[in-house]
C-alpha cells in the first residue's frame, strides 16, 4: 500500500505511509471515529464534536515531524508513528468517562487496553508492516528512549489534543508546535550532558525553546480551567458516568462496554430497563442537574482525599439526598482529578550542558502547579427543586 495524503484542519496536509494506513484501516482504529474526543463538552461548546480518530491521526503526524527533527532511523520513526496512532485505541465510549468503571471492573485503564490490543488483535498486521510490536507497546506505556514522546510531560499526544480541542471549542491559545518540536534533541554522548538521576528517557528540550514549552503548558492550564473542568460539561459527564455504572450492575458486561462507541452506549442507556434510561432522556433534552454547592480546594480540605473512595462518595450522596428529600441517583458529588498540572520532568538542556526539569527551569511552569488550585472546585449537583436544601446540607455532609 502506497502513501496517502489526508487534509487535516489543524496540521494541514498529513502524509501517511502505507504501513500506517494499514493500521488505520483496522476495525479497532476505525471505531475511534465514533468516540468524541471531549465526551459531553459539545453540550457547552457546540463545535466540540471532533473524535479520537482525528486526534490519533494528528498525533501520528506529529510523530513523523518529531522523527524528522530528531533524525530517527526509519524503523524507529515508523514505530513512533504507529504508537501515536494506536495510543488511544483502548478507549471506551465517551473517552475518559468510562475509565473509573474500567478500572473497577476490569482492573485496567485505556492505556492497558491499548497495549493489549497492540500485542493481541493488532500484532499480526503490525509485524507484517515490519513494526516492532514490543517497542510500540513500550512507547504507549511511556517507557524506553522515545516513550516520553508518546506518554510524557510534554508529549506529542498532548500537543495535538490541546491544539485540536482549542480549535473546536473556539479557545485561542497560540501554541507554536513547530518551535517546540525543533527544540527537542536526542540525548547522546555528543551533547556532553551532565548526568542527573532524575531524568529518564532519551529526549531533552533545548533551553532556546523554553518559552514555547511554557506557552504550551500555559495553554494546557487554560484549557482545563475553561473547557475540561467547565461545570456544565462536568455534570453531563458525571451523568453519563452514572449511567455506565448502572448498566454495569447487570445489563451490560464490562468487556462489552469497553468495545462500544458513544452511540452504542447511549443506545444501551436509552433502552435500559432501569434508571439509566431516565438519565439518557435528561441528556437528550439537555436537562442537566444543577450545581448546588461548590467548595474550593482550601475549603474542601481533607474531604478531597476521603471522598476519592467510591463508597465514601456514594454514602455522602445518599446523606445529601436524604437531607434534601430527593432521589439519591440524582445527587452527584464531583471531585475533579488533582493535580491538573503535576511536576513537569521533561529535562531542559542549558547552554552549559546541564540538565534540570522544566518545572525547575521555569518559574512560570512552577507557578501553574499552585495556580491550578485557584480554579479547582468540589461540586455538588442535584435536581433544580432541591438546590437550596442541598446547598444547606453540603458543608456538613461533605466536610464531615
pLDDT 10s digits, 79-91 = 999 999 999 999 9
As a whole number, the mean pLDDT across the chain is 91
**CA neighbor of 31 nearest in space, from 59, 53, 60:** 53
CA separation for the pair 217, 341 (Å, rounded): 8
Query: What pLDDT does 347 receive?
Result: 86
Sign, CA dihedral 80-88-11-158, equals negative
Structure-block grid coordinates of residue 6: 489526508
CA separation for the pair 69, 186 (Å, rounded): 10
CA separation for the pair 218, 104 (Å, rounded): 33
Q: 308: how many CB neighbours lie within 10 A of its CB? A: 12
CA separation for the pair 204, 128 (Å, rounded): 32
Distances (CA, A) of 252 to 39, 102, 234, 248, 258: 20, 12, 24, 5, 10
Residue 386: pLDDT band with limits 50, 70, 90 = very high
List Cβ neighbours of 240 (8 Å cut-off, separation of 6 or more): 39, 40, 94, 97, 265, 269, 279, 283
Query: What pLDDT does 340 receive?
Result: 65
pLDDT 10s digits, 251-278 = 999 999 999 999 999 999 999 999 999 9
16-170+230-288 sits in which CATH class? mainly alpha
pLDDT 10s digits, 203-246 = 899 999 999 999 999 999 999 999 999 999 999 999 999 999 99
**Using an 8 Å Cβ cutoff, are 111 and 152 in contact?**
no
Q: Is the peptide bond before 339 cis (omega within 30 degrees of 0)?
A: yes
pLDDT 10s digits, 141-182 = 999 989 999 998 889 999 999 999 999 999 988 889 999 999
CA separation for the pair 323, 321 (Å, rounded): 5
CA separation for the pair 317, 313 (Å, rounded): 6
pLDDT 10s digits, 311-347 = 999 999 999 999 999 999 999 999 998 766 666 778 8
Query: What pLDDT does 200 receive?
Result: 55
According to the 3-state scheme, what is the secondary structure of the chain?
CCCEEEEECCCEEEEECHHHHHHHCCHHHHHHHHCECCCCHHHCCCCCCCEHHHHHHHHHHHHHHHHHHHCCCHHHHHHHHHHHHHCCCCCECCEHHHHHHHHHHHCCCHHHHHHHHHHCCCHHHHHHCCCCHHHHHHHHCCCCCCHHHCCCCCCHHHHHHHHHHHHHHCCCCCCCHHHHHHCEEECCHHHCCCCCCCCCCCEEEEHHHHHHHHHHHHHHHHHHHHHHCCHHHHHHHHHHHHHHHHHCCCCCCHHHHCCCCHHHHHHHHHCCCCCHHHHHHHHHCCCCCEEEEEEEHHHHCCHHHHCCCHHHHHHHHHHHHHHHCCCHHHCEEECCCCCCCCCCCCEEECCCCCEEEHHHHCHHHHHHHHHHHHHCEEEEEECHHHHHHHHHHHHHHHHC
Q: Kindly give the pairing relationship between strand 347-349 and strand 203-206.
A: parallel
Average pLDDT for 28-57: 96
Residue 194: pLDDT band with limits 50, 70, 90 = very low
Average pLDDT for 72-98: 96
Amino acid at each position: 500500500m502506497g502513501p496517502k495524503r489526508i487534509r487535516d484542519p489543524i496540521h494541514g496536509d498529513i502524509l501517511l505511509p502505507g504501513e500506517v494506513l494499514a493500521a488505520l484501516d483496522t476495525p479497532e482504529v476505525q471505531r475511534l471515529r465514533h468516540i468524541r474526543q471531549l465526551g459531553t463538552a459539545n453540550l457547552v461548546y457546540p463545535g466540540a464534536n471532533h473524535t479520537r480518530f482525528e486526534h490519533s491521526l494528528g498525533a501520528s503526524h506529529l510523530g513523523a515531524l518529531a522523527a524528522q527533527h530528531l533524525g530517527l532511523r526509519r524503523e524507529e520513526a515508523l514505530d513512533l508513528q504507529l504508537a501515536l496512532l494506536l495510543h488511544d485505541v483502548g478507549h471506551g465510549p465517551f473517552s475518559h468517562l468510562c475509565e473509573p468503571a474500567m478500572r473497577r471492573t476490569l482492573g485496567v485503564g485505556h492505556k492497558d487496553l491499548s497495549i493489549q490490543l497492540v500485542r493481541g488483535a493488532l500484532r499480526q498486521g503490525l509485524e507484517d508492516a515490519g513494526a516492532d510490536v514490543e517497542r510500540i507497546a513500550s512507547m504507549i506505556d511511556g517507557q524506553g528512549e522515545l516513550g516520553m514522546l508518546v506518554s510524557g510531560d510534554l508529549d506529542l499526544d498532548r500537543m495535538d489534543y490541546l491544539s485540536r480541542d482549542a480549535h473546536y471549542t473556539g479557545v485561542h491559545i497560540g501554541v507554536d508546535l513547530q518551535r517546540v518540536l525543533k527544540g527537542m534533541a536526542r540525548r547522546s554522548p555528543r551533547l556532553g550532558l551532565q548526568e542527573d538521576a532524575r531524568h529518564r528517557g532519551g529526549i531533552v528540550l533545548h533551553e532556546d525553546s523554553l518559552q514555547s514549552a511554557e506557552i504550551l503548558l500555559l495553554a494546557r492550564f487554560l484549557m482545563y480551567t475553561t473547557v475540561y473542568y467547565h461545570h456544565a460539561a462536568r455534570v453531563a459527564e458525571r451523568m453519563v458516568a452514572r449511567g455506565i455504572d448502572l448498566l454495569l450492575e447487570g445489563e451490560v458486561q464490562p468487556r462489552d462496554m469497553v468495545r462500544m462507541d458513544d452511540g452504542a452506549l447511549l443506545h444501551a442507556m436509552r433502552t435500559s430497563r432501569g434508571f439509566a434510561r431516565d438519565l439518557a432522556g435528561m441528556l437528550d433534552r439537555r436537562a442537566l442537574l444543577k450545581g448546588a454547592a461548590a467548595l474550593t480546594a482550601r475549603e474542601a480540605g481533607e474531604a478531597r482525599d476521603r471522598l476519592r473512595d467510591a463508597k465514601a462518595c456514594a454514602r455522602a450522596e445518599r446523606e445529601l439526598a436524604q437531607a434534601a428529600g430527593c432521589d439519591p441517583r440524582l445527587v452527584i458529588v464531583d471531585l475533579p482529578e488533582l493535580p491538573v498540572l503535576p511536576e513537569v520532568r521533561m529535562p531542559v538542556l542549558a547552554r552549559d550542558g546541564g540538565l534540570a526539569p522544566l518545572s525547575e527551569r521555569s518559574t512560570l511552569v512552577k507557578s501553574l502547579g499552585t495556580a491550578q488550585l485557584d480554579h479547582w472546585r468540589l461540586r455538588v449537583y442535584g435536581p433544580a427543586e432541591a438546590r437550596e436544601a442541598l446547598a444547606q446540607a453540603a458543608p456538613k455532609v461533605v466536610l464531615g
